[in-house]
Amino acid sequence: MNVLELFDLTGQVAIVTGGARGLGRQMALALAEAGADVAICDLLEEGGSRVVTELTERGRRAFFGRVDVTRTDEIETFINQVVAQLGKIDILVNNAGMSSDGLALDEEPDDAWRKMMDTNLSSMFYVGKRVARHMIDRGEGGVIINMASINALVISNIAPRHNVPYCVAKAGVAQLTRGMAADWAPYGIRVNAIAPGTMLTAQTAASRNYPEIMERIIANTPMKRYGEEEEIKGLVVYLASHASSFMTGSLVVMDGGTTIW
Ligand SMILES: NC(=O)c1ccc[n+]([C@@H]2O[C@H](COP(=O)([O-])OP(=O)(O)OC[C@H]3O[C@@H](n4cnc5c(N)ncnc54)[C@H](O)[C@@H]3O)[C@@H](O)[C@H]2O)c1
């Protein structure tokens, strides 16, 4: 097979959670441009509708569901709707996530800790388990991509803000990815995680209000810049496609070199 054909997703159906903006939107567009029909879900209905228009403009079938990924009833309804409208699910990108409140651990309210774990970690189990069940029942395998972060590996150095609950949740995503990969390899389901460094999206806006934080991140990054949203596109298509057919359980770092130092 010609190498470029390995990246072709024609005839595949993908779900991207948190697909209404930011990295999720870029990944949805990338999968569509590679040939997949794409269903996105998010809390943001306006953004979700706009992305559906962008996906259909690329000649693909697209679907948006207003879903809170911490609500298992809403997830199940969405998955059933996607299968009814698009026929099946081949690819899941567990991307939805939130940033932290910036508090030190000793000041972190218990409820805020629970919300972080539920949104950034448990949601990937809730959605992943249900999509894997569909893939196992279909018997044709599939691909799951979980959005981790370099904070799966290192604690953010963003004083005067703090970010430990986020880092703990993302470390959990890395280990969940390995666990899913091990449990579901017998069914032909590959599971990998992406670990970006600082990308210019709404999520990093709070830290960008502190010039000293951003200057420190640039100083600690050999490439001396942040990532642009679009730079996620190639990696998600690689991981979603046959091009990465022998990869599972990996945490792929994409950070301009931040974690080198
Ligand atoms: N931007 C970065 O620097 C960076 C770095 C590493 C990892 N990440 C991760 O990438 C993913 C995307 O982040 P982003 O930077 O595009 O941020 P973003 O805030 O632009 O996008 C996150 C999306 O998830 C949605 N979302 C949040 N909670 C949800 C919920 N409970 N149910 C449904 N949807 C929900 C939001 O509405 C939003 O559309 C996140 O998991 C984030 O932690 C981002």
Which CATH number does the domain housing residue 39 bear? 3.40.50.720
Show the low-confidence residues of the chain (pLDDT under 70).
Answer: none
Whether residue 207 lies inside any domain: the answer is: yes
Give the model's pLDDT for residue 33.
98
The radius of gyration computed from the CA coordinates of the chain, to the nearest angstrom, equals: 18
> Is 260 among the domain residues?
no
Structural domain containing residue 13: 3-250
In a domain, 79, yes or no: yes
What per-residue confidence (pLDDT) applies to 147? 98
* C-alpha to C-alpha distance for 27 and 32, rounded to whole angstroms: 9
Question: Which atom of ligand 1 lies at the shortest distance from residue 170's CA?
Answer: 43
* The pLDDT value given to residue 180: 99
Is 226 designated active site?
A: no
For ligand 1, residues with CB inside 6 Å are 18, 20-24, 42-44, 67-70, 95-98, 119, 147, 149, 196, 198-199, 201-204
173: left (phi over 0), alpha (psi -120 to 50) or beta: alpha
Residue 219 placed within a domain:
yes
Tally of domains in the chain = 1
CA–centroid distance, residue 96 to ligand 1 (Å): 5
C-alpha dist (Å) from residue 8 to 15, 32, 83, 192: 17, 10, 21, 19
Q: Does a structural domain hold residue 261?
A: no
Q: What is the pLDDT of residue 208?
A: 83
Instruction: Kindly report the backbone phi and psi dihedral angles of residue 190, in degrees, each rounded to the nearest multiple of 5, phi listed first.
Output: -95, 140
CA distance 42 to 46: 10
Domain contains 160 = yes
Tell the residue nearest (CA) to atom 28 of ligand 1. 97
- What pLDDT, on the 0 to 100 scale, is given for residue 206? 81
H or E element, residue 17: strand 13-17
**CA of 3 relative to ligand 1 center, distance in Å:** 32
Residue 25 covered by a domain: yes
